[in-house]
Structure 1
Amino acid sequence: WQQARKDRVAQLMAEYPGAWNPNQYGNPDNVGAYRSLALELVAQLGRIDVLVCSVGTGGHSAGVARVLREFNPDMRLIGVDTTGSTIFGQPPSNRLMRGLGSSIYPRNVDYRAFDEVHWVAPPEAVWACRSLAATHYASGGWSVGAVALVAGWAARNLPADTTIAAVFPDGPQRYFDTIYNDAYCNEHELLGGQPP
């Protein structure tokens, strides 16, 4: 569906001379817009050893990582993708999760910047989203659950003095009818336990 959407935008751009498309997938301003977030992370956390980001358009992972590496060139970037996404080479399939993953190859994804990538399945993201909401009163969408899950894994597996920053890119508002809806989750077999 992403390619179809891009094709339709290209058609509209051709039909309406002077029209503008922000092109979140390939516009370098998308990447550059995250400089202030990276500087805020440095101001609040100091040296950051690991950054955990979901990957969709590639904007925030590339933008934040580039700036953080100005302060710590050895910082590790962990990407979080979803099953069925083609970004890091999986075969395309239907994707239930929105906000991360892609069926196209966005130009803003800085593949060389990633030290590792973790794939999260929809039931795991739902479990993490609901756990965050229940235990920390923090909530968000698919990408927040996926990033929280991977950041938790990193915290359990890296030395205790490792400073890990995890970017939660959205809130829960768009997900009340999906992640936080029992009927939807049951229909898609998304409930049923903690990930391994």
Structure 2
Amino acid sequence: MDAATADLLPHVVRLGPDLWGASFKLMKMVPAHHIVNTALETGEIGPDTVVVESTSGTYGLALAVKAALIGRRLVLVTDPAMDDRLCRRVADLGATVEMCRTPSALGEYQTVRLARLAKVRERFPDHFWPRQYDNPLNPASYSIVAEHLHRRLGAVDALIGPVGSGGSMCGTAAGLRLHHPGLRAVGVDTPGSVLFGQPDQVRELRGLGNSVLPGILDHTSFDEVHWCPAGEAYRQTRRLHRANGLFHGPTSGAAVAVARWWSARNPGVRAVVMLPDQGDRYLDTVYDDSWLDADPVRRADGEPREVNRPAGESSWTWMRWNRRRLSDVAAPPGPRP
């Protein structure tokens, strides 16, 4: 394994008797590195090609790092979820940021971003769109993560992690199942996300969930799905920092909330939880007690309640997905991006 590949891989940290965390510095570098390198090899990215993408978070940062390293122009279409610090960072790497400040009538930004992205693509005929939501190279890129976890831990019985595009969970689970076909995959979504059949609503928790249905999301990968609310994610983000010294954001907090609950109820089952995001962006929010205290919802916690169908509730719910297609559980929420 070369040094560049090794830098993409997570630290594996023990969190409990049978629970390990895959702690990434910047998980989205895994697909950004693989997708861009493949496009360079195939000629899809030439000397003057402009890379364009819609993103509200760390995938944009990963592309900005990669674009700077290969000397290509990058245009990112984003929304206010990409805070000023992150915007400044990607701009310093040379990226152009196009900010969508007005949400759709449903209160979401992703369809608005995709419409703006279409205009950006018209402006730059020689462009490359990584298509993080639809590109099969996204989940395929996580084969190196699966091999890394297998080398470090041997047989992994369960993989728990957040779902946004579906790339990290579907790709890593597929790679681990080559060694252990019985691996159980537990997806972590959030209330208001359409990914697993809930109605589209404004989401407090960003970094996971979605308002559109990604083409790469393979619902048949998942044995269970949890919809974790923001308050529980914030609480577990702080606990992860204080108890384990791991400085992550609330996407990781949501994942570890589910992982701790799941692992406690499945003793003797070797589980890995994916921790994708660092905490730097959240110093003034999740890591600030005054911000948490300003809204009781941010301090809320509670035990998950099992449901038989996607409930669309604001509290923590979960269901046995049993590797079914979305159409077997709920009606798909409209066209893919």
Percent sequence identity over matched residues?
36
Is residue 2:279 matched to residue 1:164?
A: no
User: Is the counterpart of residue 155 in structure 1 residue 263 in structure 2?
Assistant: yes
Report the AA paired with residue 166 of structure 1: V
Would the aligned equivalents of 2:158 and 2:270 in 1 still touch at CA under 8 Å?
yes
CA contact (8 A) 1:52 1:165 kept: yes
Determine which structure has the larger strand proportion and give its number.
2
Q: Which runs of 5+ in 2 are unaligned?
A: 1-108, 304-337
CA contact (8 A) 2:234 2:299 kept: no
Q: Does residue 231 of structure 2 align to residue 109 of structure 1?
A: no
Question: TM-score, normalized by length of structure 2?
Answer: 0.56
For the pair shown, the structure with the greater C-alpha radius of gyration is: 2
Checking the alignment, whether the CA contact within 8 Å between 1:140 and 1:170 is kept in structure 2 is yes
Secondary structure of 2:161's match?
Answer: strand
- For 2:290, what is the secondary structure of its paired residue? helix
Are the equivalent residues in 2 in contact too, given 1:126–1:190 (CA < 8 A)? no
For residues 39-94 of structure 1, give each alpha carbon's deviation from its aligned partner in whole angstroms, at most 9, with x where no partner exists. Answer: 11001110011100100011101110110010111111000001111111111111
Match among 119, 122, 135 for residue 243 of structure 2: 135
**Counterpart contact for 2:232–2:299, Cα < 8 Å:** no
- What is the distance in 2 between the residues matched to 1:118 and 1:93? 17
Matched, 1:23 2:131: yes
1:44 and 2:145 correspond:
no
Deviation per CA, 1:71-123, whole angstroms, max 9, x where unpaired? 11111100000111111111111112111000110112111111110010000
Q: How does 1:43-192 map to 2 (within 5 A)?
A: 43-158=151-266, 160-192=267-299
- 1:164 deviates by 0.2
State the shift of 1:178 in Å.
Answer: 2.1
Counterpart amino acid of residue 112 in structure 2:
A
Q: Note if 1:195 corresponds to 2:302.
A: yes
Give 1:194 shift.
4.4
Shift of 1:193: 5.3
TM superposition shift of 1:185: 2.3
Q: Which moved more, 1:84-93 or 1:174-183?
A: 174-183
Distance 1:15 1:192 in 2: 45
State the alpha-carbon separation in 2 of the partners of residues 14 and 144 from structure 1.
Answer: 36
Task: Provide structure 1 residue ranges, at least 5 long, that are not aligned to the other structure.
Answer: none
CA distance in 1, matches of 2:300, 2:189: 20
Question: TM-score, normalised on structure 1?
Answer: 0.94
C-alpha contact 2:293 2:299 (8 A) present in aligned 1: no
Secondary structure of 1:165's aligned partner: strand
Partners of 1:177 and 1:83 lie apart in 2 by 23
Take 1:79 and 1:22, find their aligned partners in 2: how far apart are those partners? 24
Question: Residue 10 in 1 paired to residue 100 in 2?
Answer: no
Measured against aligned partners, the alpha-carbon deviations of 1:123-154 in whole angstroms (never above 9, x if no partner) come to: 00001001111111112112110110111111
SS at match of 1:167: strand
How far has the Cα of 1:191 moved from its partner? 4.1
Structure 2 residue identity aligned to 1:164? A
Partners of 1:188 and 1:80 in 2: how far apart? 23
* Number of positions where the alignment pairs a residue of Structure 1 with one of Structure 2: 195
- CA separation in 2, counterparts of 1:37 and 1:124? 27
Q: Which has the higher contact order (CA 8 A, sep 6+)?
A: 1
More helix by share: 1
Distance in 1 (alpha carbons) for counterparts of 2:299 and 2:140? 40
